[in-house]
Chain A
Amino acid sequence: MTREEIVESIKDIIRTIAPDEELSGLKSDVRLRDQIALDSMDFLDIVMELRKRYGVQVPEEDYKELATLDGCVAYLHPRLKDRPAKVGV
């Protein structure tokens, strides 16, 4: 997956979990929770979707790395660069 595909995958996961949020104007360097209404249950679902879709295991101590879209890319790209993207699962 490219960096762009990772961004699209994260957005796709958020769309699955929170279809009522508007994602088109998301800034990549601002905390996701400051831009859209995601609670801790939603956040844990993002982590579980990553595992379900891509087999990537994010331990609790790394959750903070996923706070922004840029953070997600930095954290996930090394782990996902050899995997194909899955959208709309």
Chain B
Amino acid sequence: MPAPRYDAIVLGAGMSGLAAAIRLAQYERRVLLLERHALVGGLNSWYKRGGRRFDTGLHALTNYAKRGAPGAPLTKILRQLRLSWEDLALAPQTRSEIAFPHMRLSFSNENELLESEIARAFPASRAGFAALVAAVRAANPFDAAAPFVSTRARLAEFAIEPELVEMLLLPLLWYGSALAQDLAWDDFVILFRSILLEGFARPEGGVKTLLDLLVARARECGAELRTNTPVTRILVEHGAARGVELESGETILAEQVYSSAGWVETRALAGAPVPDSERGWVTIFEHMCVTKSPHRARGHDAAITFFSEVERPRWSPPTELVSFETGVICCSDNYATKQAPTDGLLRATLLANHDRWSALPEAEYEAAKLSAAARLEQLCASHVPDPRPETVLRDSFTPRTIRYYTAHAGGAVYGSPVRHRDGRCGIAELYLIGNDQGLVGITGALLSGITMANQHGLYARNT
């Protein structure tokens, strides 16, 4: 067999793949990063329509931190990838909100706001919430050997009213839970810090700003990026990954393969499939409206609104095409950008059922999209200024679209409910990065690529 041409092949130029490629190439590993699509980013990418750029994944960058904040995940990411905080041009949120049938809570990047909101709306839970925040701050959620602890069981130990528990859980489930109904306590701790303590920002210029920085840095380090290059097989010999086979038939050898394809998908590519039941179920229907005026001009300043139409929203696969029970509305123009917005952009997200969308005949698919979008716009009108009279351009995408662009089975956006925290997948020299390894969101994906490359490619092999 000829000698491998690369030290590492990385599958997928999304957040985790770009981060892993940068780390490895930064320390002189020969890296090939393969992306099936023309554009990088995977789930967190962008497209152009009507002369305007739309982000596909990014509602918010979680874990907002000021420049150089010690110990902050954002500081770690920027340092590890040698990116500058200034280049990211983060525009912080003014506030976001959690809206339930009879109650609304605001939170922002300053912790005092949520504290005062809870004191106002749930005075009996004030001490319990303070104890929870203290427990979250004191916890070490990064012990990979720790057993699963149910967040719902753990939360019952705090004197917090049930409705407040549901309200606090909603944004965390939406931005990070691949499990149904519950989430692991360690994940809760990380998500609580990321969302409710550190908060949201958005790079000026959207996800493209971040992707451009990552691609430029990967190239600067010497990583080779090939777009429009689908991988059809991960080559395995004597139980170890040896390289990949491309759709073109070309074979490329490497010492290691890092895959952001997902647990189920990676095992299938390696010819060692696992049950389809291990695929992730969280997938979404997303609808966007460009509005004539910015939201602020219409008296609305929240960046993100997590809403529930019921007292106890279900976080589980919907049986219909979409569930209108809970959703997320992002008013992208409500981040404090240097350049003031001239129009508004609303993005609304619902849980969706991939198999129902995929089973629709083509003629019904378009009609179903329009009908879900119309009802979602109506629903938005009860939480944010009614987008309907203002909308000049609208577009929607479904789990089918997500499956096509991410190649994740079932259009899963948060990966398999079974995490593979050490990145190992039962085949030597093949490592999982991205959602199925670690945490979700842009921050989680970047950290996943960084830590897996460090652990398996750099620290262990620094000889």
Contact = CB atoms under 8 A, between A and B. Distances in A.
B84 A19 contact: yes
B71 A37 contact: yes
Contacts, number: 34
Interface string A7-19: 0000000001111
A41 B71 contact: no
Interface residues of A, number: 17
Interface string B195-209: 000000000000000
Interface residues on B, range: 10 to 19
Contacts of B75: 20
A52 B27 contact: yes
A21 B27 CA distance: 22
Contacts of A42: 79
A84 B462 CA distance: 23
A41 B85 contact: no
B71 A39 contact: yes
B80 interface: yes
Contacts of A48: 27, 458, 462
A17 to B, nearest CB: 6
B80 A41 contact: yes
A44 interface: yes
B141 interface: no
A57 B462 CA distance: 9
A45 interface: yes
A47 interface: yes
Contacts of A19: 84
A21 B68 contact: yes
A29 B84 CA distance: 30
A51 interface: yes
Interface string B427-463: 0000000000000000000000000001000110011
Contacts of B389: none
